[in-house]
Amino acid sequence: MDGSIRTERVVLLGLVTLLGATVTVVTAVAALAISAAAALVVCGIGRILRPSEKVSDAVRWSVLLTVGFGISWILGPLASYVAPVPERAVLFLQLSGVAPIVYYGVARRDGAGSDGDARVDSLRSWVLFGVILLGTGLVREVFGRGTILGYLIITGYAIPADFMGSPVGAFLMAGAIVLAARLLPGQRIEAEGGVHE
Amino acid sequence: MSEVTRAFLDGMLLKNPVFMTFTGALLAAVIPRSARTSWAPAARYSVVFFFAALLGGALANSLSSALVPLVFVGTSLVSVLVLRHLGELSGEWMGMPAAILAIAPLLGIQMLVAQAGEFAGVVASAGGNSLGFFLAFVLLGAIRETSRISEAKPVFKTNPVVLFSMAVFALALVGFIFW
């Protein structure tokens, strides 16, 4: 898997979280923590509930999705007690447990030849997801609010570009990341463009 | 403007589930392939989303708060089964069941619709969200198709174009004010 395809894949896997929970760095950190917690628990349960004749695929994935959502449903509102998370972002924190990135490890382990390959690939994807999430949160907070972690950094005549904090900025960032990854030298893009879907 | 009308218009425009509240962004970004082939799936998704939002929203407002997440999850899983029965979400997406794409929009729309309060508001909000999703789905199908058949370099095609187009639609929707 080359870099551009992995980046594009990770952006799509965590798209809802990336768009909704990156309005500030603190929100992005909370989203990353909740997603990672959900992913760890889901991976653990996925290991116990391995595909077999006794457990159908539908039941297995229903259990995994319920657990993932349950974790983010509980942890999402708690985040606002720990850190200053905008009220609008709580919805996305509560939904971060059902983002496909949370289930990527389980899916990779089901599809990979060995546990080791799946673990390495999942970890790389998660590291990339963390970097993208935090980077997007940083850029959106700096340009959209003029702050970093809530502290004002832009003073004088600078006026924050409010649209970066709005849905417009979220989509622009996601599109820019995908395009930048594709434009990296040495990347091969399919004729149609985009990742395998 | 009445509260019901406002709930409908908000659901469709200011709280559009694809461009403004993002819950359906992934589904609408990756599933539709072209405008012509998107109409029927968009209609199926919208109808199922409407009834899921109606059921989830209405039950969430009448049951104890401890049961609300179970209602949302149960409604979402049943809705996915219905969608699969209708021929949608079959196969896999990135190694996992394609049904996973519909879980976030189903849960998100229910959570948003439940905030509408009274039953009339829930119905209007569910209708607005469903119609908003329908329109976004078809529009993004058309954009993906246009980008795919364009003479641009492959590096610019499909996903970047779809995401930047979503930014433009979001910009247009931000401009709506109802009072």
CA–CA gap between residue B42 and residue B134 (Å, rounded): 5
Supply the pTM of this predicted model. 0.91
pLDDT in tens, B33-88: 888 999 999 999 999 999 999 999 999 888 888 899 999 999 999 999 999 999 99
Contact A103/B96, CB-based, under 8 Å?
Answer: yes
- Shortest CB distance from A194 goes to which of B104, B158, B170? B158
Contact B159/A178, CB-based, under 8 Å?
Answer: yes
Chain A residues 113-142 with CB within 8 Å of chain B: none
For chain B, give the mean pLDDT: 91
pLDDT at site B178: 66
pLDDT at site A196: 43
Contact A179/B101, CB-based, under 8 Å?
Answer: no
User: B22 to chain A: nearest residue by CA?
Assistant: A16
CA–CA gap between residue B70 and residue A77 (Å, rounded): 17
* ipTM given for this complex: 0.93
pLDDT in tens, A154-175: 666 666 777 888 899 999 999 9
Shortest distance between the Cα of B2 and any Cα of chain A, in A, equals 24
CA–CA gap between residue B108 and residue A88 (Å, rounded): 12
- Are B20 and B173 a contacting pair, CB within 8 Å? yes
Name the DSSP class of A169.
Answer: H
pLDDT at site B63: 87
For chains A and B, count residue pairs whose Cβ atoms are closer than 8 Å: 144
pLDDT average, residue stretch A61-66: 94
Check pLDDT > 50 for residue A193.
no
Model confidence at A64, in pLDDT bands (50, 70, 90)? Answer: very high
**Would you say how long chain A is, in residues?**
197
pLDDT-wise least confident of A34-38, A49-53, A126-130: A49-53
Phi, psi of B39 (to 5 degrees): -60, -55
Contact A193/B167, CB-based, under 8 Å?
Answer: no
Put simply, whether A172 touches B (Cβ < 8 Å) is yes
How many contiguous H segments (helices) and E segments (strands) does chain A have?
8, 2
Q: HEC states along chain B?
A: CCHHHHHHHHHHHHCCCCCCCCCCHHHHHHCCCCHHHHHHHHHHHHHHHHHHHHHHHHHHHHCCCCCHHHHHHHHHHHHHHHHHHCCCCCCEECCEECCHHHHHHHHHHHHHHHCCCCHHHHHHHHHHHHHHHHHHHHHHHHHHHHHHHCCCCHHHCCHHHHHHHHHHHHHHHHCCCCC
Higher pLDDT, A168 or A47: A168
Per CB-CB distance under 8 Å, the chain B contacts of A91 are 21, 108, 111-112
pLDDT in tens, A89-118: 899 999 999 999 999 988 888 876 566 777
Higher pLDDT, A131 or B175: A131
For chain A, give the mean pLDDT: 85
**Encoded tokens for A169:** 């900025």
pLDDT average, residue stretch B130-138: 95
Check pLDDT > 80 for residue B112.
yes
pLDDT at site A157: 60
Shortest distance between the Cα of B121 and any Cα of chain A, in A, equals 20
Three-state DSSP state, A100: helix
Contact A95/B107, CB-based, under 8 Å?
Answer: yes
Check pLDDT > 50 for residue B137.
yes
Put simply, whether A1 touches B (Cβ < 8 Å) is no
CA–CA gap between residue B19 and residue B142 (Å, rounded): 16
Contact B19/A167, CB-based, under 8 Å?
Answer: yes
Higher pLDDT, A196 or B102: B102
Percent of chain A with pLDDT over 70: 86
| b/e sequence B140-173, b meaning 16+ C-beta within 10 Å | bbbbbbebbeeeeeebbbbbbbbbbbbbebbbeb
